[in-house]
A and B are shown apart, each in its own frame.
Chain A
Amino acid sequence: MRTNSLIKMERHHIIDLDDFSQEEIALIFATTDAMKEILSREIRRVPTLRGKTIVTLFYEPSTRTRVSFELAAKNLGADVVNVTSSTASVAKGESIIDTMRTLEALGADVIVIRHFQSGVPCLMAQHLQISVINAGDGCHAHPSQALLDLYTIREKLGHIEGLKVVIVGDILHSRVARSNIWGLSAMGAQVVLCGPPTLIPQELRRPQPLKGGECPFPPLTIQENLDRALEEADVVMVLRLQKERQEGGLLPSLREYIQLYQLNSARLSRAHLHALVMHPGPMNEGIEITPEVAHGPQSVVEDQVTNGVAVRMALLYMVTGGKG
């Protein structure tokens, strides 16, 4: 069972959306609105986090998420230090907890971490006094991405409650999908997962209640046929086919995947006319999505990127403002 003090601790850190309430997400939206106003100014900078140091620590390649966090921190006047695993002492064999403790001792106020191993940010949060923001860990969670997806849906369609959101593709390896399932469910959307049976994990297929009676995931629908899944859809989130993770023979062939699960114009026409097409990037155009759809009138991929900076500004503001 969750206690109040635990919720407070997790607001100091942002690890996943699994314990965020509708009210908390609405508060993040309101703060993000204010951040978007700053981004619309000629001089996109406020002194809010002046004197704070934000460290981005990335153990996995990333351009957009790292740059997005860096810009967010700089727009708020913070100093930013970027560390990647090739430059870190991790290459010399230092344990990640020691690396983080060193960064803390050096005076970092917030650590933004991405790691290929699920659970690393959570472990860090337990060992550090300073704030930890998860920028993606293994197949577990990517909360800032899910929040910017939610924010973009609300911005474009006005609300999230009651919408049918189809997440299509490699659900198995997707931290974006898992965080979105939590966030969308908290906001009252209907989540439909679609993908080849081998890429839909068992824990989502039939969520078994844990010992405490808590469900590992909120209720959702699984529809393996994309044409059927898209009917009446308000939002289609296309996931990147993680080719680097397909060595285990989970897919018969790339051609078959394209044939059955690629989002193209004909398939998209089965969804509502107002349906949004989203993608967390980077896109494999011609594989999970056709170029016409990726850059078509229903695509909000660029809005997602722009909103990402504003959402991350809001998160940095909120974790830093909560101290003291």
Chain B
Amino acid sequence: MSEKIIMSETEIKRALTRIAHEIVERNKGCEDLVFVGMQTRGLPLAQRLAAQIEAFEAVPVPVGSLDISFYRDDLASLDLRHIVQRTDIPVHISGKRLVLVDDVLFTGRSIRAALDALIDFGRPRDIQLMVLVDRGHRQLPIRADYVGKNIPTSIQEDIQVRLKEIDGRDEVALIFGEQT
């Protein structure tokens, strides 16, 4: 297995700054905005976006966390050691504009599960999707509204997003194995 760094710390920072502005522009401000970070790495990304927006708009944006374990369609293949993480939606989401935040968009199945989970909490005005990396290979009709970087991959490759809050450093790596 080898890996290639395809986004550096600076590139991640720039992408998040751009997206923070896009979100405010598209929503004409940040009234009623709520960020929901998907466990594990969507959560720090959501927190960073909220911090950026607060810095230039001077308005705090609530950030929630979501674990989709209970909504997955592949329960049978789950690792028994998988730890279910915290779901914490701090505000009533009915009528709000939700931005769902995840690190990698791949098949779209996690997003499908997240949409089901969010709808159990209420009826938001709309749900938008932000991902740091879109690697393609969708199996469901789902697309992102905000994308850090589009990275075409082959199905055998893997994308790893590493974030300071969890992994100690910021970078995105493309993992590819020699074909056997």
Question: Interface residues, chain A, CB within 8 Å of chain B?
Answer: 11, 27, 30-31, 33-34, 37-38, 41, 43, 45-49, 76, 317-318, 320-324
Contact = CB atoms under 8 A, between A and B. Distances in A.
Nearest to B88: A37
B45 to A, nearest CB: 21
B155 interface: no
Nearest to A319: B80
B156 interface: no
B173 to A, nearest CB: 28
Interface string B114-147: 0011001100000000000000000000000000
A216 to B, nearest CB: 28
A38 B78 CA distance: 20
Contact of B86 (A33, A322, A324): A33
B70 A76 contact: yes
A47 B68 CA distance: 11
Interface size, B (range): 20 to 34
B75 interface: yes
Nearest to B113: A47
B77 interface: yes
Contacts of A31: 83-84
Nearest to B76: A324
B102 interface: no
Contacts of A27: 81, 83
A47 B71 CA distance: 6
Given A27-B81, A46-B120, A321-B78, A37 B87 contact: yes
A11 B120 contact: no
B103 interface: no
B69 interface: yes
A41 B83 CA distance: 20
Contacts of B81: 27
B112 to A, nearest CB: 12
Nearest to A44: B120
Given A41-B120, A46-B120, A321-B76, A34 B71 contact: no
Contacts of A34: 67, 69-70, 84-87
Interface of B: 67, 69-72, 75-78, 80-88, 116-117, 120-121
B70 A321 contact: no
Given A321-B80, A322-B80, A48 B87 contact: no
Contacts of A38: 70
Contacts of B83: 27, 30-31
A34 B69 CA distance: 10
In the A-B complex, the 4 residue pairs with the closest CB atoms = A324-B76, A34-B84, A46-B70, A48-B70
A41 B64 CA distance: 14
Contacts of B86: 33-34, 37
6 contacts: A33-B84, A34-B87, A46-B117, A46-B120, A48-B71, A321-B80
Contacts of A43: 120
Given A38-B70, A49-B75, A317-B70, 12 more contacts: A27-B83, A31-B84, A34-B85, A45-B120, A46-B120, A47-B116, A48-B71, A48-B75, A318-B80, A321-B76, A321-B78, A324-B77
Contacts of B78: 321-322
Contacts of A41: 120-121
A49 B72 CA distance: 10
A197 B90 CA distance: 54
Contact of A47 (B70, B82, B84, B88): B70
Contacts of B76: 321, 323-324
A48 B120 CA distance: 13
Contacts of A322: 78, 80
A23 to B, nearest CB: 9
Nearest to B121: A41
A11 B79 CA distance: 13
- The winner among B80, B82, B83 for most chain A CB atoms within 10 A is B80
B32 to A, nearest CB: 20
B171 to A, nearest CB: 28
Nearest to A12: B80
A46 B81 CA distance: 20
